[in-house]
Amino acid sequence: MKTKTVISLLVFTALFLWTSCKNEKPRDIVAENFEFAAQQLEYAVLLTEETVNKDTRDSLKKAASPLVSPRTMSNDGSLIMVPARDWTSGFFAGELWYMYEYTKDPKWEELAVRFTSPLESQKLNKGTHDLGFMIFDSFGHGMRLSDKPEYKEINMDAARSLASRYKPNAGIIRSWDHNGQKWDCPVIIDNMMNLELLFWASKESGDTSFYDIAVNHANTTMKNHFREDYGTWHVVDYDTITGEVRNKTTHQGFADESSWTRGEAWALYGYTMTYRETKDEDFLTHARNIVNFIFTHPNLPEDLIPYWDFDAPEIPNEPRDVSAATITASALYELSLYGGEKSAQYKEWADTILKNLTNHYRATLQSDAGFLLLHSTGGKSLNSEIDVPLVYADYYFLEALLRKSKIENNLPLF
């Protein structure tokens, strides 16, 4: 009898557990993270007000360049904000627009408008290539999601400013104006991200010169920024008269011949977007080759959250770069839509990245200066922003979550 009783209990327990698991709702990682982000970003908004009030810069600096957007967190846990001219200034407003897109709650639109408006001064800034990040990731989303016709002209002004940096003899858009003693005309791989603004401007205005500049830059970069294995050089310096390459170096990577992880992510995202805008199969093939470099690299960790450089010398005792992971995940979701035998694998990798970020890299609610994710690295080689939260990691995290949701609900991404 005892044996029968034990067997019956085991069978009952197994049936109970099976029924419980069957009835349990599957985890909705998108809803879970947007719920977390709603609370954390409300906290971040409060911190921005406190930070602006505590700003200790002299009155002339504060008047000329007020702090407008979060960028990262200091060692003591306080929020670090930046003025509109900083290359990261548009990402926080972009996060708020993504919150509005997902929730349809007007409070997020109101906040997005509030953090977008101070960036307008940058539309005429011809001294930077980062206008896509600064303007299109803020006013661009505002134009797409709200009834503000003035946003269109702001984006057009920014596109004109970006196009003014084009060097026709070299076929590239100049990235930086600083360090003239080091470079003649430097182009960084990051610049691929800002081409989206030009593609939009061409479609919107009918002016094909924007399109031609973007395509020429993408082709020249594809020719000169990549090694045979599709690892990237961070900086390529050009002679603007002859168009010749002067040298190939790094600025934020470990070494000139190493592959800076976020550079690979920028490249993947940039060429995936460029294929979308051109339908040129060469760009699609290039994006797939970059994916192959990333996901077959022996130094990519098992959880797919990379170290800050693929060739960093002390792996596995090197800091991770969560920002590279979020950019990569977002790009993979788009790339998965363009066919090919690995499309399902691309989405699976992106899903895995989001799951691991959620489980192991997320910030503490009502803490960590209001950021969503920890453990990004801005530039270890510069001793800058090492193992910290970064606003652009959070921006691409929300973008990747939105893309996942749209794909799984059969909605268009764009």
Q: What pTM does this model have?
A: 0.94
Q: What span, in angstroms and rounded, lies between the C-alpha atoms of 392 and 347? A: 21
Confidence band for 354, pLDDT divided at 50, 70 and 90: very high
Q: Which residues are catalytic?
A: 130, 190
- Burial class of residue 24 (count of CB atoms within 10 Å of its CB; 0-12, 13-18, 19+): exposed
Q: Given CA atoms 62, 377, 87, 110 in this order, what sign does their dihedral have? A: negative
Segment 272-315, tens digit of pLDDT: 999 999 999 999 999 999 999 999 999 999 999 999 999 999 99
Q: What span, in angstroms and rounded, lies between the C-alpha atoms of 195 and 175? A: 12
pLDDT on residue 170: 97
pLDDT on residue 26: 82
232-235: Cβ within 8 A, 24+ apart:
232/189, 232/259, 232/260, 232/263, 232/264, 232/267, 233/189, 234/188, 234/189, 234/260, 234/263, 235/175, 235/183, 235/186, 235/187, 235/188
pLDDT on residue 6: 47
Q: Tell me what the mean pLDDT of segment 350-359 comes to.
A: 98
pLDDT on residue 23: 56
Q: What span, in angstroms and rounded, lies between the C-alpha atoms of 268 and 18? A: 42
Pick among 1.50.10.10, 3.30.70.360, 3.40.1640.10, 1.10.1060.10: CATH of 27-408? 1.50.10.10
Look up tokens 């200790």; give the residue: 56
Segment 186-210, tens digit of pLDDT: 999 999 999 999 999 999 999 999 9
Residue 4 has pLDDT above 70, yes or no: no
Percent of all residues in the chain with a pLDDT value above 90, rounded to a whole number: 90
User: Strand, coil or helix: what is 189?
Assistant: helix
Beta bridge partners of 245: 238
Specify whether the CB–CB gap between 241 and 293 falls below 8 A.
no
Specify whether the CB–CB gap between 52 and 374 falls below 8 A.
no
Q: What are the distances in angstroms from CA 229 to CA 195, 204, 226, 259, 375?
A: 24, 37, 8, 10, 27
Residue 179 has pLDDT above 70, yes or no: yes
Distance of CA 114 to the CA centre of its chain: 22
User: Strand, coil or helix: what is 70?
Assistant: strand
Segment 68-83, tens digit of pLDDT: 999 999 999 999 999 9
If one compares 63 and 360, the residue with the highest pLDDT of the two is 360
